[in-house]
Amino acid sequence: MALKLRLKPCERVVINGCVVQNENRRYTLTVSNFAQIIRGSDIMQEDEADTPVRRAYFLIQSMLLDPQAAEQYGSVVAGMMAKLYTAFMHPEMQDRIMQAMRNVSDRDYYKALACLRPVMAYEDGLLNAQRSPRDERTPETCVEA
């Protein structure tokens, strides 16, 4: 089944490592066979990979963008995902991590990334809930007298 990508004006998409950018109007692009595809808005920058789930996402994204990285990071990602599975006690998050692991083993990296997006949101919620009001003080209020 063909994949139809509806591109917004000036939107970028990476297809098998090639960056394609739309012009100034909406456009639909049809991909007729399997390809590694990621929209520009889904691409994470390396400095954003600052939590365990985000680091896993970034490595899987690297595998999608670069076939050599896929060979290099496969076992690293498997280990990271196993640790994430045991760290998250929420059954839905465990299911998403397990599905991401299956997608990585099938080399369907985009689907693996899609499975991890809700896990990232859940992780963000946990990290924000653990911050105390003291952690959120601005530098000006932390200055000792």
Q: Report pLDDT digits (tens) over 16-66.
A: 888 888 889 888 888 888 888 888 888 999 999 999 999 999 999 999 998
How does residue 139 score in pLDDT terms, banded at 50, 70 and 90?
very low
Question: Quick one: angle between helices 52-65 and 109-130, nearest 10?
Answer: 160
Closest CA to 115 of 124, 106, 104: 104
Q: What is the pLDDT of residue 31?
A: 86
Helix (H) or strand (E) holding 86: helix 67-87
Find the mean pLDDT for residues 1-8: 84
Helix, strand, or coil (residue 133): helix
Q: What is the pLDDT of residue 29?
A: 82
Q: What is the pLDDT of residue 27?
A: 83
> Is 145 exposed, middle or buried, given 0-12, 13-18 or 19+ CB atoms closer than 10 A?
exposed
Q: How far apart are CA 42 and CA 60, in angstroms?
A: 12
